[in-house]
Amino acid sequence: DVQMTQSPSNLAASPGESVSINCKASKSIGKYLAWYQQKPGKANKLLIYSGSTLQSGTPSRFSGSGSGTDFTLTIRNLEPEDFGLYYCQQHNEYPLTFGSGTKLEIK
């Protein structure tokens, strides 16, 4: 199985700031990484797939980069609604696997 190591586990930032979340795969997954946002009481939301392709409706302040084993989700100019949990997921091979999550909190 491809192990996904996500860091940091917790992150505190203020609105207007930029943050980065990292995801490292235990072997090359090409460009096949997705990012999701999870918030209480809401359905999980796909933000980015194939490493850097924004899902329809994802604000442009979100961006994804990386390939092979190392990937980054960057959120620029944080908005209050961006706070929550973020997960990466490799979609290169079965079994599909997720990172352990990053909790983004308001400082």
Interface residues with other proteins (CB under 8 A) are 1, 32, 34, 36, 43-46, 49-50, 55, 87, 89, 91-92, 94-101
Least CB distance to other proteins at residue 17 (A):
26
Least CB distance to other proteins at residue 32 (A):
7
70-90 CB burial, b ≥16 within 10 A, e <16:
ebbbebeebeeebbbebbbbb
When the beta carbons of 21 and 78 are compared against other proteins, the nearer one is 21
3-class DSSP state of 37: strand
